[in-house]
Amino acid sequence: MGPMIRFIKKRLEKKGDAVLPGADVRMISGCDDAQTSADVSNVASFRLPDPAGKAGGACTSTLLSVLYEDHQTPEEVLSFVEVLTQMRQILERKEYTQIPQLTASKPIDVQAPFALAYPEGGTKRAVMIGINYVGQDGELSGCHNDLLNIKDYIMNVHGYEEENIVVLMDDGKHEEPTRENILDAYRKVVSDSEPGDAVFCHYSGHGGKVRDDDWGEEEDGYDETLVPVDYVDNGQIRDDDLYQILVRPMKSGVMLTCLMDCCHSGTVLDLPYKYKPGQGPREKMEIDEGFNFKKLFKFAGEVFDRDSDDEN
Protein backbone atom coordinates (compact mmCIF):
# COMPACT_ATOMS: atom_id res chain seq x y z
CA MET A 1 0.00 0.00 0.00
CA GLY A 2 1.55 3.28 -1.13
CA PRO A 3 1.76 6.47 0.97
CA MET A 4 -1.15 8.16 -0.86
CA ILE A 5 -3.46 5.19 -0.28
CA ARG A 6 -2.42 5.09 3.39
CA PHE A 7 -3.23 8.80 3.65
CA ILE A 8 -6.64 8.34 2.02
CA LYS A 9 -7.38 5.31 4.20
CA LYS A 10 -6.59 7.32 7.33
CA ARG A 11 -8.86 10.15 6.23
CA LEU A 12 -11.70 7.77 5.34
CA GLU A 13 -11.43 6.11 8.74
CA LYS A 14 -11.70 9.54 10.37
CA LYS A 15 -14.28 11.21 8.12
CA GLY A 16 -15.90 8.27 6.34
CA ASP A 17 -19.45 8.94 7.58
CA ALA A 18 -19.33 12.42 6.06
CA VAL A 19 -17.78 11.37 2.77
CA LEU A 20 -19.11 7.90 1.96
CA PRO A 21 -22.73 7.00 1.12
CA GLY A 22 -24.87 6.46 4.20
CA ALA A 23 -26.31 3.17 3.00
CA ASP A 24 -24.47 -0.14 3.16
CA VAL A 25 -23.81 -0.52 -0.57
CA ARG A 26 -22.12 -3.57 -2.07
CA MET A 27 -21.86 -4.77 -5.65
CA ILE A 28 -20.96 -8.09 -7.22
CA SER A 29 -19.67 -7.57 -10.73
CA GLY A 30 -18.65 -10.08 -13.34
CA CYS A 31 -15.39 -8.45 -14.36
CA ASP A 32 -12.98 -5.53 -14.12
CA ASP A 33 -13.57 -2.29 -16.04
CA ALA A 34 -11.17 -3.46 -18.73
CA GLN A 35 -12.82 -6.86 -19.15
CA THR A 36 -15.82 -8.00 -21.11
CA SER A 37 -18.45 -10.27 -19.62
CA ALA A 38 -19.20 -13.56 -21.32
CA ASP A 39 -22.58 -14.68 -22.59
CA VAL A 40 -23.25 -18.37 -21.92
CA SER A 41 -24.82 -20.30 -24.77
CA ASN A 42 -26.11 -23.13 -22.59
CA VAL A 43 -26.80 -22.38 -18.94
CA ALA A 44 -27.81 -26.00 -18.35
CA SER A 45 -24.08 -26.68 -17.97
CA PHE A 46 -24.23 -24.62 -14.77
CA ARG A 47 -26.98 -26.90 -13.38
CA LEU A 48 -29.38 -24.07 -12.69
CA PRO A 49 -32.84 -24.72 -11.27
CA ASP A 50 -35.24 -25.09 -14.19
CA PRO A 51 -33.33 -22.52 -16.28
CA ALA A 52 -35.61 -20.00 -17.92
CA GLY A 53 -33.78 -20.48 -21.21
CA LYS A 54 -30.61 -21.88 -22.73
CA ALA A 55 -28.58 -18.68 -22.72
CA GLY A 56 -27.43 -16.45 -19.87
CA GLY A 57 -24.69 -14.26 -18.49
CA ALA A 58 -21.66 -16.01 -17.02
CA CYS A 59 -21.73 -13.94 -13.80
CA THR A 60 -25.39 -14.59 -12.98
CA SER A 61 -25.18 -18.24 -14.04
CA THR A 62 -22.07 -18.84 -11.95
CA LEU A 63 -23.46 -17.14 -8.85
CA LEU A 64 -26.60 -19.26 -9.05
CA SER A 65 -24.52 -22.36 -9.64
CA VAL A 66 -22.82 -21.70 -6.29
CA LEU A 67 -25.89 -20.63 -4.32
CA TYR A 68 -28.83 -22.39 -5.98
CA GLU A 69 -27.60 -25.41 -7.92
CA ASP A 70 -30.42 -27.80 -8.83
CA HIS A 71 -32.83 -25.58 -6.91
CA GLN A 72 -31.00 -26.36 -3.67
CA THR A 73 -29.13 -24.05 -1.33
CA PRO A 74 -25.73 -25.19 0.01
CA GLU A 75 -25.83 -27.33 3.15
CA GLU A 76 -23.45 -24.94 4.89
CA VAL A 77 -23.77 -21.15 4.95
CA LEU A 78 -21.14 -19.68 2.63
CA SER A 79 -19.13 -16.55 3.27
CA PHE A 80 -18.52 -13.83 0.68
CA VAL A 81 -15.01 -15.24 0.25
CA GLU A 82 -16.36 -18.74 -0.41
CA VAL A 83 -19.01 -17.52 -2.86
CA LEU A 84 -16.59 -15.37 -4.89
CA THR A 85 -13.86 -18.03 -4.79
CA GLN A 86 -16.20 -20.76 -6.03
CA MET A 87 -17.49 -18.43 -8.76
CA ARG A 88 -13.94 -17.82 -9.95
CA GLN A 89 -13.12 -21.54 -9.89
CA ILE A 90 -16.19 -22.39 -11.97
CA LEU A 91 -15.38 -19.67 -14.51
CA GLU A 92 -11.78 -20.87 -14.79
CA ARG A 93 -12.86 -24.47 -15.31
CA LYS A 94 -15.11 -23.32 -18.14
CA GLU A 95 -12.22 -21.24 -19.55
CA TYR A 96 -13.74 -17.82 -18.93
CA THR A 97 -11.10 -15.18 -18.19
CA GLN A 98 -13.33 -12.73 -16.33
CA ILE A 99 -12.76 -12.40 -12.58
CA PRO A 100 -15.75 -11.72 -10.32
CA GLN A 101 -15.27 -9.13 -7.61
CA LEU A 102 -17.04 -7.49 -4.70
CA THR A 103 -16.93 -3.73 -4.16
CA ALA A 104 -18.48 -1.75 -1.32
CA SER A 105 -19.07 1.75 0.00
CA LYS A 106 -17.56 0.72 3.35
CA PRO A 107 -15.28 -2.17 4.27
CA ILE A 108 -17.29 -5.29 5.04
CA ASP A 109 -16.16 -8.53 6.63
CA VAL A 110 -15.83 -10.84 3.64
CA GLN A 111 -15.51 -13.80 6.01
CA ALA A 112 -19.08 -13.13 7.17
CA PRO A 113 -22.01 -15.13 5.72
CA PHE A 114 -23.21 -14.06 2.29
CA ALA A 115 -26.43 -12.08 2.79
CA LEU A 116 -28.85 -9.91 0.85
CA ALA A 117 -30.65 -8.44 3.88
CA TYR A 118 -30.17 -7.64 7.54
CA PRO A 119 -31.05 -10.53 9.88
CA GLU A 120 -33.57 -8.47 11.87
CA GLY A 121 -35.51 -7.85 8.69
CA GLY A 122 -37.28 -4.93 7.05
CA THR A 123 -39.01 -4.56 3.71
CA LYS A 124 -37.14 -6.22 0.84
CA ARG A 125 -37.34 -4.50 -2.51
CA ALA A 126 -35.78 -5.31 -5.88
CA VAL A 127 -35.24 -3.61 -9.23
CA MET A 128 -34.43 -6.16 -11.94
CA ILE A 129 -33.40 -5.26 -15.48
CA GLY A 130 -32.87 -7.67 -18.37
CA ILE A 131 -32.17 -6.34 -21.86
CA ASN A 132 -31.72 -8.53 -24.94
CA TYR A 133 -31.88 -5.55 -27.39
CA VAL A 134 -34.41 -7.43 -29.48
CA GLY A 135 -34.10 -6.55 -33.16
CA GLN A 136 -31.07 -4.29 -32.65
CA ASP A 137 -27.41 -4.63 -33.53
CA GLY A 138 -25.64 -6.46 -30.73
CA GLU A 139 -28.73 -8.44 -29.75
CA LEU A 140 -28.17 -10.71 -26.74
CA SER A 141 -29.95 -13.94 -25.93
CA GLY A 142 -29.62 -14.59 -22.20
CA CYS A 143 -30.50 -11.46 -20.26
CA HIS A 144 -34.19 -12.23 -19.81
CA ASN A 145 -33.22 -15.70 -18.59
CA ASP A 146 -30.75 -14.19 -16.12
CA LEU A 147 -33.46 -11.99 -14.65
CA LEU A 148 -36.02 -14.78 -14.32
CA ASN A 149 -33.51 -17.17 -12.74
CA ILE A 150 -32.20 -14.68 -10.19
CA LYS A 151 -35.74 -13.53 -9.41
CA ASP A 152 -36.70 -17.11 -8.58
CA TYR A 153 -33.66 -17.32 -6.28
CA ILE A 154 -34.29 -14.12 -4.29
CA MET A 155 -37.99 -14.95 -3.84
CA ASN A 156 -37.54 -18.59 -2.80
CA VAL A 157 -34.37 -18.22 -0.74
CA HIS A 158 -34.33 -14.65 0.55
CA GLY A 159 -38.04 -13.95 0.90
CA TYR A 160 -38.47 -11.14 -1.60
CA GLU A 161 -42.14 -10.72 -2.51
CA GLU A 162 -43.57 -10.20 -5.99
CA GLU A 163 -45.30 -6.96 -5.02
CA ASN A 164 -41.96 -5.39 -4.09
CA ILE A 165 -40.09 -6.43 -7.24
CA VAL A 166 -39.91 -4.10 -10.25
CA VAL A 167 -39.07 -5.87 -13.53
CA LEU A 168 -37.93 -4.08 -16.69
CA MET A 169 -37.50 -6.28 -19.79
CA ASP A 170 -37.71 -5.74 -23.54
CA ASP A 171 -39.98 -8.75 -24.01
CA GLY A 172 -43.21 -6.94 -24.91
CA LYS A 173 -44.79 -7.99 -21.59
CA HIS A 174 -43.00 -5.87 -19.01
CA GLU A 175 -42.17 -2.20 -18.77
CA GLU A 176 -39.48 -1.32 -21.29
CA PRO A 177 -35.94 -0.85 -19.89
CA THR A 178 -35.50 2.61 -21.37
CA ARG A 179 -33.07 5.09 -19.90
CA GLU A 180 -35.87 7.08 -18.28
CA ASN A 181 -37.65 4.00 -16.90
CA ILE A 182 -34.46 2.56 -15.41
CA LEU A 183 -33.51 5.80 -13.66
CA ASP A 184 -37.12 6.32 -12.48
CA ALA A 185 -37.13 2.81 -10.98
CA TYR A 186 -33.90 3.57 -9.13
CA ARG A 187 -35.27 6.91 -7.88
CA LYS A 188 -38.43 5.25 -6.60
CA VAL A 189 -36.67 2.45 -4.74
CA VAL A 190 -34.44 5.07 -3.08
CA SER A 191 -37.49 7.12 -2.09
CA ASP A 192 -39.42 4.10 -0.77
CA SER A 193 -36.62 2.49 1.25
CA GLU A 194 -36.18 3.11 4.97
CA PRO A 195 -33.49 2.14 7.51
CA GLY A 196 -33.49 -1.61 8.05
CA ASP A 197 -34.77 -2.34 4.54
CA ALA A 198 -32.89 -4.31 1.89
CA VAL A 199 -32.69 -3.48 -1.81
CA PHE A 200 -31.45 -5.85 -4.50
CA CYS A 201 -30.69 -4.48 -7.97
CA HIS A 202 -29.85 -6.84 -10.82
CA TYR A 203 -28.76 -5.72 -14.27
CA SER A 204 -28.12 -8.04 -17.20
CA GLY A 205 -27.36 -6.39 -20.51
CA HIS A 206 -24.65 -4.52 -22.32
CA GLY A 207 -22.15 -2.45 -20.39
CA GLY A 208 -20.01 0.18 -22.06
CA LYS A 209 -17.41 2.91 -21.75
CA VAL A 210 -17.80 6.50 -22.95
CA ARG A 211 -15.48 9.48 -22.73
CA ASP A 212 -15.50 11.03 -19.26
CA ASP A 213 -17.60 14.19 -19.41
CA ASP A 214 -15.84 15.55 -16.28
CA TRP A 215 -12.25 15.84 -17.43
CA GLY A 216 -9.75 14.10 -15.16
CA GLU A 217 -12.37 12.43 -12.97
CA GLU A 218 -11.73 8.91 -14.33
CA GLU A 219 -8.20 7.50 -14.32
CA ASP A 220 -8.62 5.89 -17.74
CA GLY A 221 -10.51 8.87 -19.19
CA TYR A 222 -13.78 6.92 -19.52
CA ASP A 223 -17.04 6.60 -17.63
CA GLU A 224 -18.40 3.07 -17.26
CA THR A 225 -22.01 2.74 -18.39
CA LEU A 226 -25.16 0.67 -18.49
CA VAL A 227 -26.75 0.50 -21.94
CA PRO A 228 -30.55 0.95 -21.92
CA VAL A 229 -32.68 -0.38 -24.73
CA ASP A 230 -33.11 3.14 -26.21
CA TYR A 231 -29.45 4.13 -25.96
CA VAL A 232 -29.27 5.14 -29.64
CA ASP A 233 -31.79 7.94 -29.11
CA ASN A 234 -31.35 8.78 -25.43
CA GLY A 235 -27.81 7.78 -24.51
CA GLN A 236 -26.23 5.48 -21.97
CA ILE A 237 -26.38 5.61 -18.18
CA ARG A 238 -23.04 6.77 -16.82
CA ASP A 239 -21.51 5.69 -13.54
CA ASP A 240 -21.93 9.31 -12.42
CA ASP A 241 -25.70 8.97 -12.93
CA LEU A 242 -25.84 5.74 -10.93
CA TYR A 243 -23.84 7.23 -8.08
CA GLN A 244 -25.97 10.37 -7.85
CA ILE A 245 -29.36 8.67 -8.33
CA LEU A 246 -28.99 5.25 -6.69
CA VAL A 247 -25.91 5.10 -4.44
CA ARG A 248 -25.43 8.49 -2.81
CA PRO A 249 -29.06 9.27 -1.83
CA MET A 250 -29.93 5.81 -0.44
CA LYS A 251 -30.77 6.29 3.24
CA SER A 252 -28.40 5.30 6.01
CA GLY A 253 -29.32 1.91 7.42
CA VAL A 254 -30.43 0.43 4.09
CA MET A 255 -28.55 -2.54 2.64
CA LEU A 256 -28.22 -2.13 -1.13
CA THR A 257 -26.81 -5.10 -3.03
CA CYS A 258 -26.28 -4.90 -6.79
CA LEU A 259 -25.42 -7.71 -9.19
CA MET A 260 -24.08 -6.22 -12.42
CA ASP A 261 -23.72 -8.81 -15.17
CA CYS A 262 -22.28 -6.72 -17.97
CA CYS A 263 -18.99 -5.68 -19.54
CA HIS A 264 -16.75 -3.05 -17.92
CA SER A 265 -18.69 -3.26 -14.65
CA GLY A 266 -15.90 -3.22 -12.06
CA THR A 267 -16.41 0.39 -10.92
CA VAL A 268 -19.79 1.18 -12.45
CA LEU A 269 -21.12 2.20 -8.99
CA ASP A 270 -17.91 4.04 -8.00
CA LEU A 271 -17.38 2.19 -4.71
CA PRO A 272 -13.94 2.59 -3.08
CA TYR A 273 -13.46 -0.77 -1.33
CA LYS A 274 -12.77 -3.97 -3.25
CA TYR A 275 -12.29 -7.69 -2.72
CA LYS A 276 -11.18 -10.11 -5.43
CA PRO A 277 -10.85 -13.84 -4.71
CA GLY A 278 -7.41 -15.39 -4.74
CA GLN A 279 -5.57 -12.91 -2.50
CA GLY A 280 -4.10 -15.70 -0.39
CA PRO A 281 -4.26 -15.94 3.41
CA ARG A 282 -5.19 -12.25 3.83
CA GLU A 283 -8.64 -12.51 2.32
CA LYS A 284 -10.16 -9.16 3.22
CA MET A 285 -11.60 -6.05 1.67
CA GLU A 286 -9.19 -3.16 1.07
CA ILE A 287 -9.28 0.28 -0.52
CA ASP A 288 -9.07 -0.15 -4.27
CA GLU A 289 -5.65 1.27 -5.10
CA GLY A 290 -6.85 1.98 -8.64
CA PHE A 291 -9.90 3.90 -7.45
CA ASN A 292 -10.04 7.56 -8.44
CA PHE A 293 -11.14 9.51 -5.38
CA LYS A 294 -11.67 12.81 -7.20
CA LYS A 295 -15.32 11.99 -7.82
CA LEU A 296 -15.90 10.94 -4.22
CA PHE A 297 -14.33 14.16 -2.95
CA LYS A 298 -16.32 16.18 -5.45
CA PHE A 299 -19.63 14.84 -4.14
CA ALA A 300 -18.48 15.10 -0.52
CA GLY A 301 -17.39 18.73 -0.76
CA GLU A 302 -14.45 19.92 1.27
CA VAL A 303 -14.76 17.44 4.13
CA PHE A 304 -11.10 16.48 4.00
CA ASP A 305 -9.79 20.00 3.52
CA ARG A 306 -11.57 21.38 6.59
CA ASP A 307 -9.32 19.52 8.97
CA SER A 308 -6.16 19.41 6.84
CA ASP A 309 -4.32 21.71 9.25
CA ASP A 310 -4.77 19.13 12.01
CA GLU A 311 -2.72 16.66 9.99
CA ASN A 312 0.24 19.04 9.53
Phi-psi region of 23 (alpha: psi -120 to 50; beta: other; left: phi over 0): beta
CA 56 vs CA 70, 95, 119, 263, 275: distances in Å: 16, 16, 31, 14, 24
Annotated active-site residue in 59, 143, 263, 264: 263
Is pLDDT at 13 greater than 70 in this prediction?
no
Helix ranges (DSSP H) in 103-197: 143-158, 179-192
Evaluate whether residue 5 is within a structural domain.
no
pLDDT-derived band at 30 (thresholds 50, 70, 90) equals confident
What residue numbers bound the domain in which 210 lies? 23-298
Evaluate whether residue 35 is within a structural domain.
yes
CATH of the domain at 268: 3.40.50.1460
Q: What is the pTM of this model?
A: 0.84
> 36: which DSSP letter?
P
pLDDT of residue 96: 82
Evaluate whether residue 14 is within a structural domain.
no
Phi and psi (nearest 5°) for 275?
A: -135, 130
Q: How far apart are CA 47 and CA 62, in angstroms?
A: 10
The β-bridge partners of 261 are 204
Evaluate whether residue 311 is within a structural domain.
no
Q: Pick the more confident residue, 305 or 109.
A: 109
Cα 253 from chain centroid (whole Å): 18
Evaluate whether residue 231 is within a structural domain.
yes
Q: What is the pLDDT of residues 237-268, one digit of tens each?
A: 999 899 999 999 999 999 999 999 987 776 78
Phi-psi region of 253 (alpha: psi -120 to 50; beta: other; left: phi over 0): left
Q: What is the pLDDT of residues 162-196, one digit of tens each?
A: 999 999 999 999 999 999 999 999 999 999 999 99
Annotated active-site residue in 31, 144, 202, 206: 206
Q: What is the pLDDT of residues 227-242, one digit of tens each?
A: 999 999 999 999 989 9
Evaluate whether residue 93 is within a structural domain.
yes
Q: How many structural domains compose the chain?
A: 1
206 is catalytic: yes
Evaluate whether residue 68 is within a structural domain.
yes
Evaluate whether residue 303 is within a structural domain.
no
Q: Pick the more confident residue, 248 or 70.
A: 248
Q: How far apart are CA 33 and CA 262, in angstroms?
A: 10
3-state secondary structure of 140: coil
